Amino acid sequence: MISSTEQHEFRTFPARLLGDEPDAATRGWLEADVIGFLGHKPTPAHLRAMAGYLVSDGQTLTGVYDLEGPEQALHGDIPVATFASFEQPLTVSPGVQLAAHLISSITVRATHRRQGILRRMMTDDLTRAKEAGYAVAALTASEATIYRRFGFGAASYVHDIAVTTDSRFALTSTPSGRCELVDPGSIPALAPAVFERFHRSQPGSIGRHSQYGDRVSGRLTEEGDEDRGRRAAVHYDEAGTVDGYVTYRFAGWESKPHTIAVNDLVAATPDAYLALWEFLASIDLSTRVTFTSASPDDVLRYALVDPRVVQVTDIEDRIWLRILDPIAAFQARHYRADGSVSFRVSDELGFAEGSYRLTTKSGDGIVERLGDESAVDLHLDAWVLAALYLGGTDPRVTAAARVLVEHTPGAASTMAELLAPSATVYANTYF
């Protein structure tokens, strides 16, 4: 699909390979994406690998091309802005998943900002997603000030943690099973089954795109080569089944204290998670382990004799959601309490605009659309609705922040009770 303004041409197309090579449009798009995220100029092998991932995921790409750039400027097949979208399942309640429209690779060249390019790409893409029947869209954001204007709200968070692993590290009990070192090259084959068990039970988890295995194993880094410092271990349960894995690398002798940096840690059971941490803490010549994707309510802290060995060094938003169809979205998830609350959504882009009543009973939710003049309990913007959806954000907090208006006293507390998740909302995947 192609459309143009006086200066820019917007082209939307599927990622394609011609044999093993990306076609010209995909190659140019990839080069622009690397530029936007400050990466190294890709080698031919790296381009082939990245194009293969895009095709495997069925990604739809948008490139914006400058029709009037000077002869010396980087233009032609290399767009001045990029945008990608594809589908993955979002776990909205344990065992319940919803097809999510994922958005990634958003870049606009510094020389072409403030020309309405991002708004055009985003609006066009969300319109296509709405027309295709998606109830939710999602993205991970490099900058936190951009996406509320498009109706996205931060719906899950992760903690960066640093764990002291000297003599103070001790678990209160011994987890079952055992850990073993493995070749990190085996992780891409082992990881999907482990991740799927974790993913289906974890509210907020997003399905992983095809390059994840190569990236976490170190087989292909952001620079396009192999990370030969990467190591891996797996956990076997009592039956000998792999139910957890970790990939990591030594941060270097210059790190003080000597540090093991975790790249990825996925466990299908609490025993697997704790056993992998016990393994990491036992690695000789190091006294600290860092992990940038820990749960906000990490079980490790409660399992330690001294919980102060865990320090939170940063808190980061992870999944930003956008509700495209409030009725379909809220009827998809499960509920722990019975009750009813009505709310009006203001949506600049119009997708979620309107008044609704959510009624929950015996775990199910029914949403009805109300008339525009109907009295409602709450009023909120689309980005606030998205932040609340999974239950990881408390409506009472958003009311205190004055981004949710309570017309009926106690309605924010009612919504908090209805939306309370059955487990901590957590996503260990970025895209």
User: Among all residues, which ones are annotated catalytic?
Assistant: 147, 431
Q: Which two tokens stand for residue 125?
A: 């893409």
CB-CB neighbours of 283 under 10 Å: 16
Which residues have CB under 8 Å from 25's CB, separation 6+? 11, 13, 16, 61, 63, 77
Give CA separation, 372 vs 108, 199, 328, in Å: 38, 38, 19
**Dihedral Cα 412, 417, 420, 422, nearest 10 deg:** 180
Sheet strands (E) in 15-80: 17-18, 21-22, 60-66
CA angle 388, 392, 393 (to 5 degrees): 50
Q: Which amino acid is at 363?
A: G
Cα–Cα distance measured from residue 258 to residue 322, given in angstroms and rounded to the nearest whole number: 41
* Bond preceding residue 257 cis, omega within 30 of 0: yes
Q: Which two tokens stand for residue 315?
A: 């808190």
Give CA separation, 373 vs 307, 344, 369, in Å: 53, 10, 12
Cα–Cα distance measured from residue 222 to residue 292, given in angstroms and rounded to the nearest whole number: 17
CB-CB neighbours of 141 under 10 Å: 18
CB 138 within 8 A of CB 329: no
Cα–Cα distance measured from residue 87 to residue 342, given in angstroms and rounded to the nearest whole number: 30
